Amino acid sequence: MTFLNGTLYNLKGLWLGLKTPRLLFLGMFRLVMVVGLTLLTAGLVIVYHQDLLSLAWSEPESMWVRWLWHFVSWLLILFLVGLSAIFSYLIAQVMFSVVIMDYMSRITERIISGGEEKPPEQSFLKRFFFLVRQEVPRAFLPLMLIFLIMILGWLTPLGPVLAIVSSGISAIFLAWDNTDLVPARRLEPFGRRFKALITHLPFHLGFGLWFLIPGLNILFLSFAPVGATLYAVNAPLFSKDRGD
């Protein structure tokens, strides 16, 4: 699968999600919850940011230094708002989005193939904690890589290049977060699923390209499980007869 295939599958998934009532409801519910959590945490940051800054640096009395204090205050707001957005997304993913994503994936599989390849029977709680265990490495592995790249950017003159690289890595892992739903549900080992990601990097980069567009990225992220399931069912990531 190529880069162009990745961009097209995400578009196909969005279109199918918007015209299918159940998928539309779930996708919009997920969008509202993520945006709501982000606004809530960002609001708390804006309200209490001066108190947080005062813990490290009290407002100076000198007019000549006070402007620097206000400048740092606004930088702190921007940093904490960005951090709150990432934190809200991770909390939403781990606590409830992973269940919604799995349900959207199941619905999509039934729509396009007339049925669903049933995983082993599990209670709701057992399936929920299994999905959460799958989500943790998918969520935190890219954060670790991006953090490492940020440190390299600070310590080397390659900052602009590494910024582009980190954006590409984010797109790839956000795409994998969705294409991995079907293999994870079928209890494929994590190592094989990660190998499938490495093998299909151009596709995942194309699929995740939409997630880098401000504004549109929230919409595409909300319906990404649909396009990812179209891909996983029509072009299986795993072929047992090849043994990969």
Quick check: is 67 in a domain?
A: yes
Quick check: is 196 in a domain?
A: yes
Please check the confidence at residue 143 and state whether its pLDDT lies above 80.
no
* Other Cβ atoms closer than 10 A to 14: 21
CA Rg value for the chain: 21
Confidence tier at 186 by pLDDT (50, 70, 90):
confident
Q: What is the pLDDT of residue 49?
A: 67
Please check the confidence at residue 191 and state whether its pLDDT lies above 70.
yes
Confidence tier at 139 by pLDDT (50, 70, 90):
low
Q: What does pLDDT average to over the chain?
A: 77
Quick check: is 244 in a domain?
A: no
Please check the confidence at residue 10 and state whether its pLDDT lies above 60.
yes
100: closest CA among 190, 218, 225?
225
Confidence tier at 241 by pLDDT (50, 70, 90):
very low
Question: What is the rounded CA–CA span in Å between residue 58 and residue 70?
Answer: 11
36: closest CA among 96, 89, 76?
89
Question: What is the rounded CA–CA span in Å between residue 242 and residue 95?
Answer: 36
Domain residue limits at 64 = 3-233
Please check the confidence at residue 6 and state whether its pLDDT lies above 80.
yes
Judged by average pLDDT, the poorest of 28-37, 43-52, 216-225 is 43-52
pTM metric for this prediction: 0.71
* Torsion of the alpha carbons at 229, 230, 235 and 236, rounded to the nearest 10: 20
Question: What is the rounded CA–CA span in Å between residue 200 and residue 139?
Answer: 19
Quick check: is 142 in a domain?
A: yes
pLDDT in tens, 87-122: 776 677 666 567 788 889 999 999 988 777 766 666
Please check the confidence at residue 192 and state whether its pLDDT lies above 80.
yes
Quick check: is 240 in a domain?
A: no
Quick check: is 239 in a domain?
A: no
The answer to whether the beta carbons of residues 88 and 37 sit under 8 Å apart is yes
Quick check: is 85 in a domain?
A: yes
Q: Which residues contact 198 (CB under 8 A, 6 or more apart)?
A: none
The domain total for the chain is 1
Quick check: is 129 in a domain?
A: yes
Q: Taking residues 7-30, what's their average pLDDT?
A: 92
